[in-house]
Amino acid sequence: MNKTILERAERVTRETIAPRASQYDVAGANPIESWRALWREGLLAGTVPTAHGGLGLDMPTYIALIRAVARGCANTGMTLHMHSTVMRFIDALGTAAQKRRYFDEVVRHGKLFGSWGSEPAVSLSRTLLMETAIRRDATGYVIDGVKHFCTMALGAAHYMIWCALDGGTDMAKSLQLALVAAETPGISTDGKWDTLGMRATFSPSVTFTGVRVPDDGMLGDPGAPLRAGVIESFALGYAAIYIGIAESALAFAIDYAKKRVVRPENVAVAMDPTVQRHIGELAAHLEAAGLVLDDSAARWDAADPAELGPLANRAKYLATEVGLQVTSKVIQVVGGRGSYKDFPAERAFRDLRTCTLMPPTVDRMLEAIGRNALGLDAAMFNVSGAPPPRADHA
């Protein structure tokens, strides 16, 4: 792990990103100044290869980086992770010309890239299927469809759109990624994003009507995204975000318990054995989830593609369950003041409850973890059009 990079991330989070988290949450707006701070520190290029001027971070350092940023601002951590995962896709699937162009925009100009896959009629937790269609015509490609939860809308410079080539339903053959500039005609949104939490990810629905994509905007071949070994890294990064949020909530509760003095005993809340037991339980569970995340990240870069789903599922499942427990019980430990928006516990609870809805769901993760334990196919997502999972792997 690169400790110098991690120290840089912790410093910029503490000094610049965390102090802005509340105002971006209230405004429900993209954390633009926080992105700029990350760029100035070179952290927007964390997953850009060193040959292109980036940091080329290994997975343990990257996960520690996302976790550190999420402690200060869950929304900045999530948007950084989305952007960084697009960089991984470009590295895995892009042509030499695409890498030169897009990596340069990030390294030299601090441009952000979003990834838009969710759709109104499709549950990605059940089946990976895209109804947004991309079709070829005489001058290039055209996208038509609707996307939901479009993170960094009106904020990123480019969007990686998950499409079905010619409207196909067999994703193993037709899943196509397309890189679209934000200013391309035909992209429209009503800008509605008024949610419980993760408000500063600004993720409204977006409609694509005859959106043109030149040939050099097509990223990889149809079906290639499923074979690139990148999709699974979404879930591993989510786990880092969940744990980072929970760590910030627990740190607040510990600090509060030490400083809050109550009558008639005139001693700190931390001296209450009940509070001690609650804090002990949360600390133990959170440390355990963090150790599983760290182990998955340490094994990631050398793992076979088939191992990535199980590594990510176990980390995300535990981070989800423990994160929800920690952020909820912290408010109970702190008491009524924990519900005030003046304190970070309330925001941590809202953000954690919202971002743990990201696929795969708990049920899907447990199913995949169980299948892996039984020696069966344990892919993270069911892929539309793929043959049914085999039961003869054991």
pLDDT of residue 292: 98
Residue 379 has pLDDT above 90, yes or no: no
DSSP secondary structure letter of residue 54: S
Q: Domains in the chain, ordered, with CATH?
A: 3-112 (1.10.540.10), 116-222 (2.40.110.10), 229-373 (1.20.140.10)
121: confidence class by pLDDT, cuts 50, 70, 90: confident
Query: Hey, what are 186's tokens?
Result: 């035909």
pLDDT of residue 124: 72
Residue 10: C-alpha distances to residues 18, 64, 270 (Å)? 10, 10, 27
Least confident span in 111-115, 271-275, 309-313, 385-389: 385-389
**Backbone angles phi and psi of 190, in degrees to 5:** -85, -5
Residue 285 has pLDDT above 70, yes or no: yes
Whether 141 and 135 have beta carbons less than 8 Å apart is answered as yes
Question: Which residue, chain included where needed, has tokens 């269609």?
Answer: 133
pLDDT of residue 10: 98
pLDDT of residue 389: 47
pLDDT of residue 311: 98
DSSP secondary structure letter of residue 14: I
341: confidence class by pLDDT, cuts 50, 70, 90: confident
Question: Which residue, chain included where needed, has tokens 């005489």?
Answer: 138
pLDDT of residue 290: 98
pLDDT of residue 385: 67
**From CA 338, how far away is CA 331, in angstroms rounded?**
5
pLDDT of residue 386: 57
Position with higher pLDDT, 128 vs 164: 164
Residue 393 has pLDDT above 70, yes or no: no
DSSP secondary structure letter of residue 121: T
Average pLDDT taken over every residue of the chain: 94
pLDDT tens per residue across span 144-167: 999 999 999 999 999 999 999 999
Give me the mean pLDDT over the 138-145 stretch.
Answer: 94
pLDDT of residue 343: 87
31 preceded by cis ω (within 30°)?
no
Q: What is the dihedral of CA 244, 6, 229, 104, to 10 degrees?
A: 120
Q: Where are the alpha helices (DSSP H) in the chain?
A: 3-12, 21-27, 32-40, 59-72, 74-93, 96-109, 171-174, 231-259, 273-300, 305-334, 344-355, 362-373
pLDDT tens per residue across span 90-103: 999 999 999 999 99
**Backbone angles phi and psi of 116, in degrees to 5:** -120, 110
Specify the pTM: 0.95
pLDDT of residue 390: 45
Least confident span in 3-17, 106-120, 123-137, 379-393: 379-393
Residue 221 has pLDDT above 90, yes or no: yes
pLDDT of residue 157: 98
Cβ neighbours of residue 18 closer than 8 Å, sequence gap 6 or more = 71, 72, 73
**From CA 241, how far away is CA 235, in angstroms rounded?**
10
Give me the mean pLDDT over the 101-130 stretch.
Answer: 92
Q: What percent of the chain has pLDDT over 70?
A: 97
pLDDT tens per residue across span 289-302: 999 999 999 999 99
Whether 65 and 76 have beta carbons less than 8 Å apart is answered as no
Q: Within the chain, what is the greatest distance between any pair of CA atoms?
A: 81
pLDDT tens per residue across span 299-337: 999 999 999 999 999 999 999 999 999 999 999 999 988
> What is the distance, to the nearest Å, from the Cα of residue 114 to the centroid of all Cα atoms in its chain?
11
pLDDT of residue 1: 87
Whether 17 and 76 have beta carbons less than 8 Å apart is answered as yes
307: buried, middle or exposed (CB in 10 Å: 19+, 13-18, 0-12)?
middle
**From CA 117, how far away is CA 97, in angstroms rounded?**
24
3-state helix, strand, coil in the chain (%, to 5): 55, 15, 30
pLDDT of residue 195: 96
Least confident span in 47-56, 62-71, 360-369: 360-369
Position with higher pLDDT, 91 vs 378: 91
The DSSP bridge partners found for residue 163 are 176
pLDDT of residue 360: 92
pLDDT of residue 99: 98
Residue 391 has pLDDT above 60, yes or no: no
Whether 109 and 122 have beta carbons less than 8 Å apart is answered as no
pLDDT of residue 394: 32
Residue 123 has pLDDT above 90, yes or no: no
